[in-house]
Amino acid sequence: MTTTRRAVLGMIGASGAVLATGAVAATASGASSGAAATPADVRAFDQFLKDQGFSGSLLLVHRGRPALARSYGRANDAALNGPDTLFAMASVTKLFTATAIAQLAQAGKVSYRATLGTYVSGFPASIADTVTVHHLLTHTSGFGDPFTWPGFEEESATWTSAEQVMNGWTDYIRRSSLEFSPGVGFRYSNAGYHMLGEIVAKVSDKSYYDYVREHVFRAAGMTSTDFYTAPQWRTDPRMAHPYAVEPSGEYVDAIDRRGFIGTPAGDAFSTCADMARFARALQGSKLLNPAFTAITLGGKLPLGPPPGSGSGGVAPVGFQCYGPVTMLVNNQWVTGHTGGAPGTSTDFQLYPDRDWVSVILSNRDYGDGRTPPPFPAKARDLIMA
């Protein structure tokens, strides 16, 4: 979900700063190591975050070791952001849903070529028999975004259980029509990823939430990550509240604009450290075998360069994968996902050619809603210096 936002205003002080001893500087001498950043680069990056009013936490990991960790600003009225702060992940959650589908495909329980109607009932034949799992994963199904549908936000605000949320989303999607024939267009689709979650539930005979908790979060060693409810969000000091910018430039707590619980399309909660564990488990064949890891992370559909992705030279070449987006930047792959919602900006990237992982989680929204926040690009410049 994305909203129009004004430029970020104000300054936030750092609430924590950690630089793993020698992790950046010790490897700075060898370009082939993928760690060319100098201490001066790190200090400049740190200052850039402060100058831009970044609120949140970030973690850069090189060869499995934390290289740079920072936290800035407030999580809520009771606590500062820190390394253990839980952030709403917005659409980065789609990576967990895609991993669950890949696990079930690896087990022979889901086929990428199978149609939606194979697993979920209640759709007309024009949808049930034409939309495939492949279409849902690559945003080529023709399904749109429930947040833009009349009445959805008002009704979804009344749902007060996980079951109501899942069923409510599915009922709205069943009543919708496709915006184009499956496979002939591209439309980023929260509805499509919700239906992937329904497939996970139908095939596994568990709730979507229980399956992902057991087979993704716990399997990856993500000890804090979960789908927390709105009452927990309001009262748990570990959880960063979302601060959205108003037309006046003031930031306000937007927690009442978010749902009761996240969905397969968005808003699981995680920490920087847990996301680093997810990266290690995914790339280390702990969640999927090597073949299905490659299937999941490999490009399927050519995309245009994302807004703000070019910094001179050859523009990145991007592909939609089964969940993430992968970009070829300076002949090296960068693979991951971003997320945005009122008061939330998240970014998770894998740098397999250099063995880096970048996690940037913020409880503010930034910019005008059309271009991404500048922090991920700055982190990429630091990593690929």
Convert the pLDDT of each residue in 197-209 to its tens digit: 999 999 999 999 9
In sequence order, what are the beta bridge partners of 17? 70
C-alpha–C-alpha distance, residues 258 and 157, integer Å: 8
pLDDT of residue 7: 26
C-alpha–C-alpha distance, residues 182 and 179, integer Å: 9
Q: Is the pLDDT of residue 22 over 90?
A: no
C-alpha–C-alpha distance, residues 159 and 154, integer Å: 10
Share of the chain above pLDDT 70, in %: 86
pLDDT of residue 39: 77
In 3D space, the residue among 247, 348, 255 whose CA is nearest the CA of residue 297 turns out to be: 348
C-alpha–C-alpha distance, residues 369 and 365, integer Å: 9
pLDDT of residue 21: 31
pLDDT of residue 242: 97
Helix ranges, 284-347 (H): 290-297
Query: Average pLDDT for residues 19-39, to the nearest whole number?
Result: 41
Domain parsing of the chain, residue ranges: 14-89+239-261+268-308+328-383, 95-217
Whether residue 248 contacts residue 240, with contact meaning beta carbons closer than 8 Å, is answered with: no
Query: Average pLDDT for residues 352-365, to the nearest whole number?
Result: 95
Query: Average pLDDT for residues 268-291, to the nearest whole number?
Result: 98
pLDDT of residue 1: 36
Q: Is the pLDDT of residue 4 over 70?
A: no
**Least confident segment among 45-54, 170-179, 355-364:** 45-54
The dihedral sign for the CA sequence 372, 344, 8, 358: negative
pLDDT of residue 367: 64
Question: 3.40.50.300, 3.40.640.10, 3.40.710.10, 1.10.357.10: which CATH number matches 95-217?
Answer: 3.40.710.10
pLDDT of residue 248: 85
Q: Is the pLDDT of residue 374 over 60?
A: yes
Strands (E), the chain: 14-18, 56-62, 65-72, 87-88, 243-245, 251-253, 269-270, 301-303, 317-320, 325-329, 332-341, 344-351, 356-362
Whether residue 8 contacts residue 368, with contact meaning beta carbons closer than 8 Å, is answered with: no
What is the average pLDDT score of the chain?
A: 88
Question: 1.25.40, 3.40.710, 3.40.50, 2.60.40: which CATH number matches 14-89+239-261+268-308+328-383?
Answer: 3.40.710
Whether residue 59 contacts residue 276, with contact meaning beta carbons closer than 8 Å, is answered with: yes
Query: Average pLDDT for residues 54-82, to the nearest whole number?
Result: 95
Whether residue 323 contacts residue 342, with contact meaning beta carbons closer than 8 Å, is answered with: no
**pLDDT tens, 86-141?**
999 999 999 999 999 999 999 999 999 999 999 999 999 999 999 999 999 999 99
Find how far residue 323's CA is from the centre of its chain: 9
CA separation, residue 100 to residues 61, 109, 197, 271 (Å): 24, 11, 8, 20
pTM for this predicted structure:
0.89
Q: Is the pLDDT of residue 37 over 80?
A: no
In 3D space, the residue among 177, 192, 180 whose CA is nearest the CA of residue 94 turns out to be: 192
CA separation, residue 285 to residues 73, 288, 289 (Å): 36, 5, 5
Q: Is the pLDDT of residue 6 over 80?
A: no
pLDDT of residue 354: 93
In sequence order, what are the beta bridge partners of 333? 328
pLDDT of residue 372: 73
pLDDT of residue 38: 74
Asked if 14-89+239-261+268-308+328-383 and 95-217 have one fold, the answer is yes
pLDDT of residue 228: 98
Q: Give the length of the chain.
A: 385
Q: Which two tokens stand for residue 24?
A: 């950046």
Helix, strand, or coil (residue 294)? helix
Helix, strand, or coil (residue 156)? helix
In 3D space, the residue among 370, 329, 320, 330 whose CA is nearest the CA of residue 95 turns out to be: 320
Q: Is the pLDDT of residue 28 over 70?
A: no
Query: Would you give the DSSP letter of residue 241?
Result: P
Q: Is the pLDDT of residue 174 over 80?
A: yes
Q: Is the pLDDT of residue 3 over 90?
A: no
Find how far residue 301's CA is from the centre of its chain: 19
pLDDT of residue 12: 23
